[in-house]
Amino acid sequence: MKKTRSVLLSMQLYEYKVLEDYLSLMANKGWIFKGFGKYGKNILKFVKEEPMSIQYRVDYVDGAWKTKESEELLAYRTFVEQYGYEFIAGNLQFDVYQQLSEQYPIRENTKEDQIYLRKAVVHGLYVPLLLVLVGLMQVFTNYQKMIVMDFSENVSIMMLCSWGFLTICYAITCFRIIAWLCHIRHQPTLRNVLFYSTCDNALVCLVISSFLLFVSIKATLAFLFVVCSVMLYRSLLFANLEHSLKQSKVWLNLGLWALCCVLLGAGIVSSKEYVSKERHEVISFGSNESVAIIYRESLFAIQGYYSVNGQTYEVNVIKPSILQERIASRIREENQITSTTGTVVTQKKELRDGVGKTKTVYDVSVASDTFLLSSRYQQQPTPLQEETLQEMVPQLDAYFLR
Amino acid sequence: MPKKQLDTLTEPMYYTLLALLTPRCGIEISEFVLELTQGRVRLVPGTLYTMLSKFESEGMIQEMSVDGRKRTYEITDKGTAMLREEYQRLTTMILEGKKWLAQSEGQI
């Protein structure tokens, strides 16, 4: 079986000349371009054969024919083939031909071609821009609410990281395109494209990993480790192509890989410690009342359970460092709590489930300056005694504030 | 917005229409023009295909036959009229230019 290789290379439409150089360079090393990935338009597939000199020509595909394999596109490819070209493969961006005769180029970079390219490249920025803006708006409008309602460290970090990384991704792409439009960099070179492509891919990986944070920190680290290993392998391949370790960023990738190894190791070691941060404590007060607190500390809040009179309440404590008056007042407002000394409010609510059935639930809330106890019951709970509250609230306040 | 009609012909357009007075396919058009202009005008496939599509949608040329996906085109009456009009325009320009250039040369 022949050796094959897939290379992930993302390019802008105007960088089509660089793709020609890259494919010819690969052919010189014996890697013959066979087509694009079935599911990834940026994946180039190569097969190992005898090294040979092949002249590739890349044509960018007109926007109107972008429906893959449309009759018009096939007719255009046949049209080009009459001029001494052999069509090899195409994706939604580029068509790759092997040049058999040198009489006619496919395009002559006329003014119309340049205008078309500029339009296509700039139009390509609109959808990602929309995505980035919507995401950032979501983060900024919901972030505080998210902290209050969810209290989940992972979700908050995930949201921030994902949209932050997406914004960086977009900024880099914009920078490249503006540089091209302003003629700062007339002719994109293979080196630049490889570098930017690596940046793009790395950032996409970071976005994925920030989503993985939602699942687990260890999973994220493992994913980053795999990505860095692949990047290191890729840079070694490029080093083989360019005969230069420095140009292929091997040292940079090796550094990233090592950093990932350290992080992954640290993650595995600290995971034990993380579990031990879960505390079980019992505070006793009054005659026969006791509060069992099991809590996990996260970035913004302490989550836990509190049980009294055989009933379990969920405890959400906002850390004093980020406890802002308006958040506290919103909690009280939403839960219709008027007193800050720990009034119990039991609200009867009718909830409709997915199939339209209605069920009655009881939401119980107790709030003070430092904590909010909330719980939901199917049946009406036994109310907390006033004396219990009087004793409990200051003790919990002191406990959470220490 | 209605599509803009072709008012005047560019140099490649003029030669393409001229080539299609006889039915020709893509490469034949390019070769004819290259030979006619002694290598001055080179019609490359990327540009020519767009031009032919535009001409066809304007009804200035029509498809004669399709061999596989290879298409042969021929000029229509509308295209011929446009070509003649352009020819007239160019002739007038040359005559006028000739007259005035001759005069200015005489003055010198």
Half-sphere exposure of A341 (CA within 13 A, CB side): 6
> A80–B49: do the CB atoms touch at under 8 Å?
yes
Q: Are strands A43-48 and A85-90 parallel, antiparallel or unpaired?
A: unpaired
Cβ atoms within 10 Å of A138's Cβ, excluding its own: 13
A–B interface: beta-carbon pairs under 8 A = 48
- For residue A132, is pLDDT > 50? yes
Confidence of residue A149 (pLDDT cuts 50, 70, 90): very low
The pLDDT score that the predictor gives to residue B39 is 86
Residues A301/A319, Cβ–Cβ less than 8 Å:
yes
* Beta-strand pair A279-285/A4-8: unpaired
Residues B10-36, mean pLDDT to the nearest whole number: 90
Beta pairing partners, A43: A8
Q: CB–CB of A108 and B30 under 8 A?
A: no
Which chain A residues are Cβ-neighbours of B70 within 8 angstroms?
Answer: 78, 82
Instruction: Check pLDDT > 60 for residue A67.
Output: no
B chain contacts of residue A82, beta-carbon cutoff 8 Å: 25-27, 45, 70
- pLDDT exceeds cutoff 80 at B40: yes
* Mean of per-residue pLDDT scores for chain A: 69
ipTM over 0.90: no
User: The tokens 């195409």 sit on which residue?
Assistant: A90
Cα–Cα distance, A246 to A278 (Å, whole number): 47
Q: DSSP characters for B56-97?
A: HHTTSEEEEEEETTEEEEEE-HHHHHHHHHHHHHHHHHHHHH
Q: Does residue A125 have a pLDDT over 50?
A: yes
The highest-confidence range among A54-58, A153-157, A297-301, A365-369, by mean pLDDT, is A54-58
Q: Considering CB atoms only, which of A59, A82, A108 is closest to B70?
A: A82
Find the mean pLDDT for residues B72-82.
91
Q: Encoding tokens for residue A356?
A: 């339209």
CA dihedral A341, A329, A162, A121 (to 10 degrees): 180
Residue A60's region, left for phi above 0, alpha for psi from -120 to 50, else beta, is beta
3-state secondary structure of A315: strand
- The predicted pLDDT at position A5 comes to 79
Contact A82 B50 (CB under 8 A): no
Residues of B with Cβ-Cβ distance to A16 under 8 angstroms: none
Say what angle helices B11-19 and B45-57 make with each other, to 10 degrees.
70
What's the confidence (pLDDT) of residue A396? 67
Q: Mark yes or no for CB contact B44/A107 under 8 Å.
A: yes
Enumerate residues 6+ apart whose C-beta is below 8 A from B19.
B28, B29, B32, B33, B36
pLDDT band at B80 (very low <50, low <70, confident <90, very high): very high
As a whole number, mean pLDDT of residues B54-71 equals: 83
Evaluate if residue B24 carries a pLDDT over 70.
yes
Can you give the pLDDT at residue A106? Answer: 86
Side chain identity at residue A9, one-letter code: L
User: Is pLDDT at B25 greater than 60 in this prediction?
Assistant: yes
